[in-house]
Structure 1
Amino acid sequence: MSLLVLGINHKTAPVELREKVAFSPQQLEQALGQLSEHPQVRSCVIVSTCNRTEIYAELNQPGVGVLVEWLTRFHQLSSDSLMASIYYHEEQSAVKHLMRVACGLDSLVLGEPQILGQVKQAYASAGKAGMISGSLEKLFHKTFAVAKRIRTETEIGGNAVSVAFAACTLARQIFESLSDVTTLLVGAGETIELVARHLKEHQCSQIIFANRTQSRAQALAEQFDAKMSGLEALPEQLCQADIVISSTAAPMPLIEKAMVEKALKQRRHQPMLLIDIAVPRDIDENVGSLADAYLYSVDDLQSIVEHNREQRKLAAIQAEAIVTEESADFMRWLRSREAVDSIKQYRTQSEHIKQAELEQSIQALANGADAESVLRQLSNRLTNKLIHPPTQAMQQAAQNGEPDKLAVMRVCLGLDSDN
């Protein structure tokens, strides 16, 4: 049996190729069904995200060729189009790779937590298809435990490394809880959507989307159970907002100093946090001079992000050490399983020899043979049959000039034991 992983990711393949090799939910079910009938595949898990497609498998025979052939046939691609972008790992290298992926060490954004959920979902899909068993099942359970250990013992996921996440982290540092504050999100692009997702993860329940195109704001409002308005209503919305986060493509500032000053008066000078992550800026820089307005620009957040990237790199060193330790531990377990099979086979073989000799001796006693003579013959035959294979092996090792093999056999037979 052989453990291996075959895949492509954001480091080895452009998005055009990754799209062709990705599995939709419907394709994933079909693919797992095909692999379940493959004579060489004992079990497998397919991880397919926007940044990677990987097949983790336990095969009856070593070799990645069967998976390459199946993958190209399934997606109707030529092997030439894939080979330059494919990577594969076997045995401990495959174990280590899965652990690194699940912990975010192999991600586009170092330490990002979403990949662990995606790996767990892939494992669940494989389990539903009946493709989880044996060593692969043990490996994924071990990997989930390792990911939890790394999140607990290191700061790999503890620092914001995107501007959107940094904005939410800053808000959480200023407000004790986001559940009681109102956040106004100006814009409706990918960055604002990501900000909204992070806010929801931190229990921010009162969100207002303001955007020039109201249909887009409406779509986001429905997605996040929030309110929406057009940009013309910004002055009215500002007085409700404890936090304002803006990211539009407007060429000129949308939020002027006078607008914020008026809103603060209506709020009876209750403080307001304003985070401008747009370039060009959405919020007049003079807003920062107001006594109760705390304005941060994208440059302020970028310095936080850069600092946190360095902190994650330090945490990654700790995480890599844990992965190395845990992957070696898993391989010790896997090798011990191989020993268990050999031990069972050896015991079964010895039991058959014993049973055959015992039955022969019982028959001799039943025919009236002398009991002492029968016992002596039994012990001699049993001893000779049990020592014959290792005796031959030691002679062969000596004749072939293999002292290391001979030394191992001496240890196995207890010849070099102090006892």
Structure 2
Amino acid sequence: MFQKSFSVAKRVRTETDIGASAVSVAFAACTLARQIFESLSNVTVLLVGAGETIELVARHLREHKVRKMVIANRTRERAQALADEVGAEVIALSDIDERLKEADIIISSTASPLPIIGKGMVERALKARRNQPMLLVDIAVPRDVEPEVGKLANAYLYSVDDLQNIIQHNLAQRKAAAVQAETIVEQEASEFMAWLRAQSASETIREYRSQADQVREELTAKALAALNQGGDAQEIMQDLARKLTKPPDPLANQISSAGRP
């Protein structure tokens, strides 16, 4: 039963896209990064903030073996706990201006009421990078990155609204995949129940044959005893034949129900 369950789960994973579409902001942000950069093993990521969303982002990035992660946060203690878990470096928010040029990807999610990363800051970073592109994913509300940053050449800015569009699209894909998965599960369940009925019927038939052999021996012994005592031979043999060809009622019912869908 467990093996069958694992087999069905594997079919669902390999034959549908049920697990391929991002349906959380954190996962969508990482998916976007992987779509733009062929491999995250060659990039440096700056994470701004250390809340739940950034925690999820950091774990996803670690799974994809990002080359380097730097976490900038207002309180060092919270950032350090996350950094220890994912193998990242911790810096202060005030260090972002100086360190921004190192980052290929910036993902920001803080509770700041004002933008943390401004257009001038990104311009300086791009100049220091000799205009190597930067991906900025701003998943904060209100925004952590000034919208004007998106107008800079080689600065690709995505907001939480952009990610929500990705998530809605992926939700539709996942629903379609769920329909496919349901079809697979129903098919596998039907095949398993047919196999189970066959096994049940085989076991019932074996039990019937065993009991039939025992009954045959007992009836034959009684018939021989009756013949030895001078009973009517024809009547005794007819009674023996009738009893031998009639299965016990409980087993007859089991055999009938075992073969029934």
TM-score strictly above 0.5: yes
The aligned residue for residue 51 of structure 2 is 189
| d(CA) in 1 for partners of 2:61, 2:49 | 15
| d(CA) in 2 for partners of 1:362, 1:228 | 97
TM-superposed deviation, 1:344: 2.4
RMSD: 2.9
| d(CA) in 1 for partners of 2:141, 2:89 | 25
Is the 1:146–1:326 contact (alpha carbons within 8 Å) kept by the matching residues of 2?
yes
The aligned residue for residue 53 of structure 1 is none
Task: Show CA shifts across 1:25-75 (max 9, x none).
Answer: xxxxxxxxxxxxxxxxxxxxxxxxxxxxxxxxxxxxxxxxxxxxxxxxxxx
Q: Classify the secondary structure of the residue corresponding to 2:241.
A: helix
- What percent identity do the matched residue pairs reach? 58
Match of 1:386 among 244, 247, 250: 244
Is the 1:357–1:381 contact (alpha carbons within 8 Å) kept by the matching residues of 2?
no
- Structure with larger Rg: 2
Does residue 20 of structure 2 align to residue 158 of structure 1? yes
TM-superposed deviation, 1:341: 3.0
Is the 1:358–1:378 contact (alpha carbons within 8 Å) kept by the matching residues of 2?
no
Q: How does 1:70-149 map to 2 (within 5 A)?
A: 138=1, 140-149=2-11
The aligned residue for residue 69 of structure 1 is none
Does residue 178 of structure 2 align to residue 316 of structure 1? yes
Counterpart residue type for residue 240 of structure 1: E
The aligned residue for residue 247 of structure 1 is 109
Q: Classify the secondary structure of the residue corresponding to 1:179.
A: helix
Gaps of 5+ in 1: 1-137, 368-373, 394-404, 413-419
Task: Show CA shifts across 1:201-244 (max 9, x none).
Answer: 22224111111010011000000111111111111221111000
The aligned residue for residue 221 of structure 1 is 83
Counterpart residue type for residue 57 of structure 2: V
The aligned residue for residue 202 of structure 2 is 340
- RCO higher in structure (CA 8 A, sep ≥6): 2
Counterpart residue type for residue 387 of structure 1: T
Counterpart residue type for residue 290 of structure 1: L
Is the 1:257–1:284 contact (alpha carbons within 8 Å) kept by the matching residues of 2?
yes
Distance 1:220 1:380, change over 3 A: same
Is the 2:216–2:244 contact (alpha carbons within 8 Å) kept by the matching residues of 1?
no
TM-superposed deviation, 1:357: 5.8
Distance 1:155 1:141, change over 3 A: same
Q: Classify the secondary structure of the residue corresponding to 1:157.
A: coil
TM-score, scaled to structure 1:
0.54
Gaps of 5+ in 2: none
Does residue 133 of structure 2 align to residue 275 of structure 1? no
TM-superposed deviation, 1:378: 10
Q: How does 1:27-106 map to 2 (within 5 A)?
A: none
Match of 1:262 among 116, 119, 124: 124
TM-score, scaled to structure 2:
0.85
Distance 1:380 1:193, change over 3 A: same
Task: Show CA shifts across 1:251-297 (max 9, x none).
Answer: 00000111111111111211110000000000011111111111101
Is the 1:353–1:382 contact (alpha carbons within 8 Å) kept by the matching residues of 2?
no
The aligned residue for residue 330 of structure 1 is 192
TM-superposed deviation, 1:340: 3.1
| d(CA) in 1 for partners of 2:224, 2:68 | 87
| d(CA) in 2 for partners of 1:262, 1:221 | 27
| d(CA) in 1 for partners of 2:38, 2:216 | 75
Distance 1:386 1:287, change over 3 A: same
Distance 1:382 1:246, change over 3 A: farther
Is the 1:183–1:207 contact (alpha carbons within 8 Å) kept by the matching residues of 2?
yes
